Amino acid sequence: MTDNRALLKNKKRIVIKIGSSSLAHKETGRLDLNKVEILVRQLTDLRNQGKEVILVSSGAVMVGRSTLGLRKGSGDVSEKQACAAVGQARLMLIYQKLFSEYNQICGQVLLTKNTMLDNLNRFNAKNTFNELLSLGVIPIVNENDTIATYELEPLAVFGDNDRLSAVVAALVEADLLILLSDIDGLYTDDPHTNSKAEFIDTVTHLDEHLRGMGKKSTGSSVGTGGMATKLSAAEIATSAGCDMVIANGSDFHNIHRIINGEKVGTLFLEERKDEFYILSLLEHMDDA
């Protein structure tokens, strides 16, 4: 019998998504610098092993809000855009400073959904990623929140970094996608409200029953992606031939535990489908 967990050691191109809730202090919602430093060290060590790494990082709006002294979001789109503009620059400054301490170069890539839907833009984005990876750079990806809004461009929005990370994994033909959030993995029900919810270790086929387990909610005040978006991401990634793991981001050492084949999180096994199927998923992403 194949040990699918053990095979994760052989993954060469890895996309890792970090949610806002995994980067923030619960008490204040401000950036947890100790955790960010651990994350940077973990990713740099993967690079030192010869693996290619892409980080999809949330947190721009959160960092911008704390920098501007705004305690709670008003829900206004322009406020979110302003926070993203300030926070993205501040967040990249922190990442660059910490990565430089380990002699690792990182670079910023901002995407919109239209980048993926347009053939030429998608081709150019893929070439950019491949060149950055060939140069040993760790690309740090986020949605371009300063221009992408439902009100202005209904087809330009990913809506969350779970699905954005899956699209990036599909674009670069990654071997593995790791989603780190505020939950241990996939359960038969929401473990926050149902103590009898059972943990699911491995998903070999994402069927309608499993999709129905997704709850359009999140247990965090700073995150945006619930289990529904993670299952949507799983469908995109696995259809592109990429294994995916949902795991808890409270401890960034889980990254190496996953790569080393330990039983951490829920493993979704790849079910490769053709490119047209993946593009169809992307086009109808807003319906998920």
What are the residue ranges of helices labelled H in the chain? 20-23, 33-48, 60-67, 77-100, 113-117, 119-134, 161-171, 208-211, 227-239, 254-259, 275-283
Instruction: Tell me the mean pLDDT in the region 234-258.
Output: 95
- What pLDDT, on a 0 to 100 scale, did the predictor assign at position 159? 57
pLDDT of residue 74: 60
Q: Which two tokens stand for residue 49?
A: 């092993």
Radius of gyration for the chain, computed over Cα atoms and rounded to the nearest angstrom: 18
Tens-digit pLDDT profile for residues 65-88: 889 988 776 667 788 888 889 999
For helices 227-239 and 161-171, angle between their N-to-C axes, nearest 10 degrees: 10
Q: Walk me through the domains of the chain, giving residue ranges and CATH numbers.
A: 12-287 (3.40.1160.10)
* pLDDT attached to residue 216: 45
Q: What's the gap between Cα 23 and its chain centre?
A: 12
Q: What's this model's pTM, rounded to 2 decimal places? A: 0.89
CA–CA dist 90, 94 (Å, integer): 6
Residue 150: pLDDT over 50? no
Residue scoring higher pLDDT (129 or 277): 129
Confidence at residue 28, expressed as pLDDT on a 0 to 100 scale: 85
- Which of residues 224 and 117 earns the better pLDDT score? 117
Q: Measure the CA–CA gap between 243 and 253, rounded to whole angstroms.
A: 19
Q: What is the pLDDT of residue 247?
A: 96
Residue with the bigger pLDDT between 282 and 235: it is 235
- The percent of residues in the chain predicted with pLDDT above 70, rounded, is 84
Decide which of 259 and 112 is more confident: 259
Query: Measured between alpha carbons, how far is 181 from 178 in angstroms, rounded to an integer?
Result: 10
